[in-house]
């Protein structure tokens, strides 16, 4: 019997403290978990990355954004098809979009 080649499942990562993100294949709930999640996928392609700005308490997405900026600065940006920023914090979301766009990540505001 001949095997039919299958398309690999898209890698959709989410970093959000509350939302279920049904399209996500993996979800991190804190910035620390988000950093670990990205590091696990350091050498592979991420189809979509969903980011929330406010992650509960004093935690925000900014440590993850810093990791992504530093990777781009060092010449090894994360390979991500699209970054979607979904946040009820418009100023925080705009900061993330502006920061990552500056480093040539494909970023857009979205609703989760």
Q: Tell me the per-residue pLDDT of 64-79, one tens digit each, with 9 for 90 and over.
A: 999 999 999 999 999 9
pLDDT given at position 103:
97
Tokens of 53: 């700005």
Contact 63, 30 (CB under 8 A): no
Which residue has tokens 């929330």?
A: 52
- With a pLDDT cut of 70, the percent of the chain lying above it is 95
pLDDT given at position 34:
98
pLDDT given at position 67:
98
> Which one-letter DSSP state was computed for residue 18?
S
- Give the mean pLDDT of the chain: 94
pLDDT given at position 92:
95
Taking residues 90-100, report their average pLDDT.
Answer: 96
CB pairs under 8 A, 24+ apart, for 35-38? 35/63, 35/64, 35/67, 37/13, 38/13, 38/64, 38/67, 38/68, 38/78
pLDDT band at 6 (very low <50, low <70, confident <90, very high): confident
pLDDT band at 24 (very low <50, low <70, confident <90, very high): very high
For 29-91, the DSSP string reads: SSHHHHHHHHHHTTTS-EEEEEE-SB-STT-BSHHHHHHHHHHHHTT----EEEEEE--S-HH
Taking residues 42-62, report their average pLDDT.
Answer: 96
């Amino acid at each position: 019997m001949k095997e039919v080649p299958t398309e690999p499942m898209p890698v959709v990562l989410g970093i959000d403290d509350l939302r279920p993100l049904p399209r996500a294949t993996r979800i991190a709930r804190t910035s620390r978990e988000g950093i670990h999640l990205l590091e696990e996928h350091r050498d592979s392609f991420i189809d979509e990355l969903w980011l929330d700005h406010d992650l509960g308490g004093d935690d925000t997405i900014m440590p993850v954004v810093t990791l992504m900026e530093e990777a781009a600065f060092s010449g090894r940006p994360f390979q991500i098809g699209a970054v979607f920023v979904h946040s009820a914090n418009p100023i925080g979301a705009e900061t993330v979009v502006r920061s990552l766009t500056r480093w040539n990540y494909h970023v857009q505001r979205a609703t989760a």
